[in-house]
Amino acid sequence: MNLRIGTGYDLHLLTEGRPLMLGGVEIPSGKGEAGHSDGDVLIHAIVDALLGSVAAGDIGTHFPDTDPKWKDTSSTLFLEETTELLSNRGFTPVNIDCTVILEHPRLKPHIRAIRNNLARIMGMNPKRISVKATTQEGTGAIGHGEAIACQAIVLVEKIQQHGSES
């Protein structure tokens, strides 16, 4: 069997004075993710899903928020390095499906740009990357606009017989 799956989840508080970054794209909004890095919940969830697919730990292991190296860094870098880690183990992503959970703003006008940017970073066809959005119907921290979350699931395929995985 040359297929593996992985899931990822992330949540960040939203605060004024920060850009809202999703998939490496800045979304016009009055609030953005608080965080040590740029707080891009979509990329963080995808990174965790990719790492999970090959049982390689989690984002906190590879990019600890205690390391000043990652302070205010673009999460694009995390995704580039994680894609390379998988490649070094002989794996490549087959498809990715994500759900961003936020109350405002509506993401529909930005979905295409987000998918294209994620595809560019990972060297994938954008048709294999799905990004969806839903609200929390006004309930809880997300519904009150205090937080944003994201779920991701990824299928990866082993394309080379090297590395320590079997």
With H, G, I as helix, E, B as strand and everything else as coil, classify residue 150: strand
136-144 own/partner pairs: CB under 8 Å, 24+ apart? 136/101, 136/103, 138/103, 141/13, 142/11, 142/101, 142/102, 142/103, 143/103, 144/103
Q: Does 10 bind Mg ion (CB under 5 A)?
A: yes
Minimum CB separation from Mg ion for residue 44, in Å? Answer: 4
* Residue (78 or 91) nearer to Mg ion, CB: 78
CA distances from 28 to 17, 22, 31, 32, 161 (A): 12, 11, 9, 9, 44
Minimum CB separation from Mg ion for residue 101, in Å? Answer: 14
* Residue (10 or 103) nearer to Mg ion, CB: 10
Minimum CB separation from Mg ion for residue 142, in Å? Answer: 15
Residue number of the CB atom closest to Mg ion = 44
Applying the rule CB under 5 A, the residues between 13 and 52 that interact with Mg ion are 44
Minimum CB separation from Mg ion for residue 119, in Å? Answer: 21
Q: Which residue has the tokens 């490649």?
A: 87
Applying the rule CB under 5 A, the residues between 98 and 137 that interact with Mg ion are none
**What residues line the site for Mg ion (CB under 5 A)?**
10, 44
